[in-house]
Amino acid sequence: MTPRDFGLMTLVCLIWAANTIVSKLVIANLQAPPMFYAALRFAVVLAVVWPWLRNAPRPLWRMILVGLCMGSGTFALVFFALKTASPSAVAIVSQLGVPITAVLSWFLLGERLDARRITGTAMTLAGVVLVMWNPDGLHMSAGLLFVVASAVIGSFGAVLMKQIEGVKPLQFQAWVGLSSVIPTLAYTLSFETGHATVALANPWALGAAVLFSGLVVSVLAHTLYYTLIQRYEASLVSPLTLMTPIFTIALGVVITGDVVDLRMALGAVLALIGVLVTAFRFNQLARLALVFGRGQG
C-alpha cells in the first residue's frame, strides 16, 4: 500500500471515529431523538445518491434486507446506545461484529471456522465482557446492549451482502438510505417527541452534524473505503479499520471526557487482538505490519 493510500485509510478511520463523537454530542447534549437523527442522516444520503437506485441488484428483497441491517439496524441502534454509553465503550463493544460475522458465515454460508477463529472469537468476547464489567459484576447497561444488537444485525447484513454480486459503493449507499429512511422516519414520527424543539434550539449544530454524518461519513468515507478494498486485498485493508476504535477512544477522552481505566484498556487490547486473530493469518498480519511501518515512514 502506498503512503498516499495509507493516509487515505487513516483519514477514513478518523472520520468514522469523529462520527461517533459527533453523534454522542448530538444525542446526549442536544437531546436529539436517536431515530430522528438517524432518519435525517439517511434522508441526506438518499437525496445525494438516489440516481444509483436504478438497475437494482437481484433479488431485490435481499438488497433491501441488507440495507435495513447495515443502515437502520446498525447506525440507529448505536445512536440509541450513545444516550447512555460512552463513545469509547461503544467503539470497543462494536468490535464483536468481526467474530460474529465469522460465526454467521460458518453457520449460514458453510465457511470454515477453525481453531484460530474460535480462539479469536473467544478473545474478543472476553475483552468486551471485561469492558462491560464493574466491581459489582457484569454491567449490562441498555446502551451497550444496543451495541451488541447492532453488531449482530450488522454482521447478518454483511453475510447477506456476500451473496450479492456487482454492487457498486454508491449503489449500496443509495439502497441503505432508501431501506433505512422509511422505518426510521415512521418510528420517530410514531414514538419520539421534541423534534421541532431540538431543531429550533440548535439548527446550525444539528444541521452540521447531519450533513457531516450523511455526506462526509456515508458518501465520502465509505466510498473511499470501498475504493481501497477494490484496489488492495481485503486482508490488507480490513485490519487497518482497527484504527477507528483507537481514534474513538482518544477523541472520547479529549472531547467527551470518557474515563478509560486499566480494566477498560485491557479489555480494549484483548478485544482488538481477538479481532486480528479471528480475521487474519500470521503471514497477513506480518504484511500489515510492514505496510503500517511504511505508512508511518
Distance CA 181, CA 163 (A): 24
**Residue 297 predicted with pLDDT over 70:** no
**What pLDDT is stored for residue 224 in this prediction?**
87
Distance CA 130, CA 144 (A): 13
Q: Decide if 106 contacts 113 (C-beta within 8 A).
A: yes
The residues near 203 (Cβ < 8 Å, ≥ 6 apart) are none
- Coil, strand or helix at 134: strand
- Tell me the pLDDT of the chain averaged across its residues: 81
**What pLDDT is stored for residue 54 in this prediction?**
81
**Mean pLDDT to the nearest integer, 150-159:** 85
**Mean pLDDT to the nearest integer, 45-60:** 85
pLDDT tens digit sequence for 219-271 = 899 888 878 876 776 555 666 777 788 888 888 888 988 877 787 788 778 87
How many CA atoms lie less than 13 Å away from 251 in the CB half-sphere? 22
Q: Grid coordinates representing 135?
A: 466491581
CB atoms < 10 A from the CB of 124, how many?
28
Higher pLDDT, 206 or 277: 206
**What pLDDT is stored for residue 233 in this prediction?**
60
**What pLDDT is stored for residue 138 in this prediction?**
47
Residue 171: pLDDT band by 50, 70, 90 thresholds? Answer: confident
**Residue 68 predicted with pLDDT over 50:** yes
**What pLDDT is stored for residue 290 in this prediction?**
53
CA distances from residue 276 to 28, 74, 116, 123 in whole angstroms, order as listed = 32, 22, 10, 10
pLDDT tens digit sequence for 121-145 = 777 777 777 776 655 544 556 678 8
- Please give, one letter per residue, the 3-state secondary structure of 70-125: HCHHHHHHHHHHCCCCCHHHHHHHHHHHHHHHHHHHHHHHCCCCCHHHHHHHHHHH
**Mean pLDDT to the nearest integer, 164-193:** 88
Q: Tally the residues of the chain.
A: 297
- Would you list the domain boundaries of the chain? 3-296
Residue 21: pLDDT band by 50, 70, 90 thresholds? Answer: very high
Beta bridge partners of 133: 138
pTM of the model: 0.80
Dihedrals phi, psi of 42, to nearest 5 degrees: -70, -30
Residue 294: pLDDT band by 50, 70, 90 thresholds? Answer: low
Q: Grid coordinates representing 292?
A: 503500517
**What pLDDT is stored for residue 56 in this prediction?**
75
**What pLDDT is stored for residue 280 in this prediction?**
59
